[in-house]
Amino acid sequence: MTEKKLTLGQAIDQIISALDSLEPGARKTALEAASSHLGINALVNAPQHTMPQVPIPPLQGTSAPNPLTIDIRTLKEQKQPKSARQMACVVAYYLRELAPESERSETVNAQDLTKYFKQAGFKLPKTIGQILPDAKVAGYFETASGKGAYALNAVGYNLVAHNLPSNKGD
């Protein structure tokens, strides 16, 4: 039997799915045991507020390379979105600018939001399918080709790159 290789995103999804139903203490134990088995030094005990701040990479099209690898949870913690619309912008920015090459995308849809809201630990709203249309009306997105696909526009990009975290709401 051949083993199918997983992308980083698929692996994270499987880990989250496996740990989701456990109590927080059991999650920590499971992560520590898995880390020990794999011979890696996990940051299970690291306080959330001491995570290092990673600078946002240069604008797309500039000559500087993008050496950063950052996950959606870290980006969410750095940017501190206060609403589902802001989080949708963070997800779209992540997919366009920071995600591993295999996950990069110029567009985002409701299924992407569900996946990356979960990975980031951001609360899922009741009507996730309405977030992108509402964010478009708010001026953060443009409709793109493909059913339910939206592209982050300059306003949405600037929100994430330059205006988050913010003391104000959406």
Encode pLDDT of 47-103 as tens digits.
Answer: 444 344 444 454 444 444 445 568 999 999 999 999 999 999 999 999 999 999 899
Tokens of 140: 């953060």
- What is the per-residue pLDDT for 56? 47
Q: β-strands 150-152, 141-143: how paired?
A: antiparallel
- What is the per-residue pLDDT for 37? 66
Amino acid at 136: K
Q: Which run of H or of E encompasses 17? A: helix 8-20
Kindly calculate the radius of gyration of the chain based on its CA atoms and give it in whole angstroms: 17
- What is the per-residue pLDDT for 52? 42
Look up the CATH number of domain 52-163.
1.10.10
On average, the pLDDT of the chain sits at: 80
Under the banding of pLDDT at 50, 70 and 90, the label for residue 147 is: confident
Q: Is the pLDDT of residue 149 over 70?
A: yes
Distance in Å from the first CA to the final CA of the chain = 50
- What is the per-residue pLDDT for 46? 46
Bridge partners of 151, per DSSP, are: 142
Contact 72, 94 (CB under 8 A): yes
Determine the average pLDDT of the residues in 116-138. 95
How far is it, in rounded angstroms, from Cα 99 to Cα 150? 17
Those residues with Cβ within 8 angstroms of residue 125's Cβ, 6 or more apart along the chain or in another chain: 84, 131
Determine the average pLDDT of the residues in 125-152. 94
Contact 31, 44 (CB under 8 A): yes
Tokens of 13: 């999804």
The C-alpha angle with vertex 124 and arms to 123 and 129, in degrees rounded to 5, equals 150
- What is the per-residue pLDDT for 19? 73
All structural domains of the chain with their residue ranges:
1-45, 52-163
For the entire predicted model, the pTM comes to 0.61
